[in-house]
Amino acid sequence: MASLPPRCLSFFVLFLFALLINPAISLRTSVIKLPGSDGSADTFCSSWRLAVETNNAGTWNVIPSMCVDSFAEYLNGDQYGSDYDVIADYALAFAKTVQISGDGKDVWIFDIDETLLTNIDYYRAHGYGSEAFESNSFNEWVVQGTAPAFDASLRLYNALKKLGFTIILLTGRDEDQRSCTETNLRDAGYSDWERLLLRGPEDQGKSATKYKSEQRSKLIEKGFKIHGNTGDQWSDLLGFAVADRSFKVPNPMYYIP
C-alpha cells in the first residue's frame, strides 16, 4: 500500500467505504438490476423471489446477499407455510377431479427435498442459500435423517393416498442415500409410497430435468398415468413426459437445473 500514490489511496478508501454502505455491491447474481435509490431492499427481494418462483430468473447460483434478512423473515414466518397450504389445496382440488381406475396406475409424483421434507434447519445454518452449495456438509445433514415434513405436504400426501393415487417419490438424492431417506420419510410421517426413485450410477452428471424426465418416461412406458407432480424446482416439473398438472412449491434458497 505504501507504494500507492495518495490519489489512488483516496479512491481505495472511497471504494472500501462504498462496499461498507452499499448492500448492492455484494450482490452476487450479476444479471439482475440493483435496486435504485427509490427502491428498498425488501421490495427488490420480493421481486427477485417472484422471478425465481415463476422461472423468469433462469439459472442462478446463490441468493442476493442483500436478501438474506428478508428471506429469513419469509422462511421463518407464517407466509412460507401458507404458500405450501394454498398450493396443496389447489393440488387436492385437481386430484379430486381425476377418475381413479383402481388398477394402481394412477400416479402422483413427489420430489423430496423442500417438497416433502424441509431442510430449513440446514439452510438456516448456511445463510439461507447465500452461501454456495457445499455437498459434503449437506450430505452429512441428509444422513442424519432428521428433516421434518411440511405440514401441507403431509396433508396432501395422505389425502392423495386416500383418494387411491399411487405415490411415487422421485428425488435427485443418490441411491446410496436410500436407507437414510426412507427412515427420514417414515419418521416424518410419510408411508406407503409405491417406489422411491433415486439417482443411480447411470444418472450421475445428468441435469435434474433430463434425469427426472427419463424416469417419468419409464413410468409411462410401464403403463402408469402421471396425473400430478409436486416439486420445488422447475427441473422437477418440466422437460418431457410431464404430468397432467404440475404444482411448484416455493424455494427461494437454491436452484437445480
Q: Which residues bind its own copies (CB under 8 A)?
A: 31-33, 35, 38-40, 43-44, 46-48, 50-51, 53-58, 78-79, 82-83, 85-87, 89-91, 93-94, 245, 247-248, 250
Q: How far is the CB of 255 from its own copies (least distance, A)?
A: 13
Closer to its own copies at the Cβ: 91 or 197?
91
d(CA 83, CA 33): 26
Closer to its own copies at the Cβ: 30 or 99?
30
Q: How far is the CB of 208 from its own copies (least distance, A)?
A: 18
Q: How far is the CB of 94 from its own copies (least distance, A)?
A: 7
Q: How far is the CB of 128 from its own copies (least distance, A)?
A: 18
Q: Under a CB-based contact definition with an 8 Å cutoff, are residues 202 and 227 in contact?
A: no
The secondary element (H helix, E strand) that includes residue 181 is helix 178-187
Closer to its own copies at the Cβ: 40 or 183?
40
Q: Under a CB-based contact definition with an 8 Å cutoff, are residues 65 and 98 in contact?
A: no
Looking at this protein, which amino acid is placed at residue 104?
Answer: G
Closer to its own copies at the Cβ: 87 or 107?
87
Q: How far is the CB of 185 from its own copies (least distance, A)?
A: 23
Closer to its own copies at the Cβ: 62 or 185?
62
d(CA 198, CA 58): 25
CB atoms within 10 A of CB 23: 18
Look at the chain and count its residues: 257
Closer to its own copies at the Cβ: 48 or 71?
48
d(CA 169, CA 163): 17
Looking at this protein, which amino acid is placed at residue 257?
Answer: P
Helix and strand counts by DSSP (H, E) for the chain: 9, 5
d(CA 3, CA 6): 9
Q: How far is the CB of 155 from its own copies (least distance, A)?
A: 10
* Bridge partners (DSSP) listed for residue 196: 169
